Amino acid sequence: MPDGDAAAGRQVFIDKKCASCHVIDGMEALREGLEVENTVPIGGMKTTVDTYGQLVTSVINPSHRIARAYRSEAYSEDGESKMRNYNDELTVSELIDLVAFLQAQYTEFPDY
């Protein structure tokens, strides 16, 4: 897919109210005024940065790969993610921008 625009993706993240279930370090203000339903961190330090493909999958098919840490009842039910499906409301451009924004939130651990 073509390169996305992370700033536009941030706006999609706000418009779609993703922050009602997600927190991003340093962007807690995005949650203001939203009804908080869940608290799943996005981004931070990872041993491997979530690849583009994994992030796309997380958005268009959340139950495909539920992170081990999220297999508890708070986050999934019968193996289905509690994350809503956005496939009928996100345009392809919005998805591309959103993933560019999400990817920028992950930092790889430095090599020692």
Note the residues at the interface with ligand HEC (CB under 6 A). Answer: 13, 16, 18, 20-22, 37-38, 40, 42, 55, 58-59, 62, 66-67, 70, 75-76, 81-84, 86, 98, 102
Residue 35 or 112 having the CB closest to ligand HEC: 35
SS3 per residue for the chain: CCCCCHHHHHHHHHHCCHHHCEEECCCHHHHCCCCCCCCEEECEEECCCCCHHHHHHHHHCHHHHCCHHHCCCCCEECCEECCCCCCCCCCHHHHHHHHHHHHCCEEECCCC
Residue 3 or 74 having the CB closest to ligand HEC: 74
Residue 33 or 112 having the CB closest to ligand HEC: 33
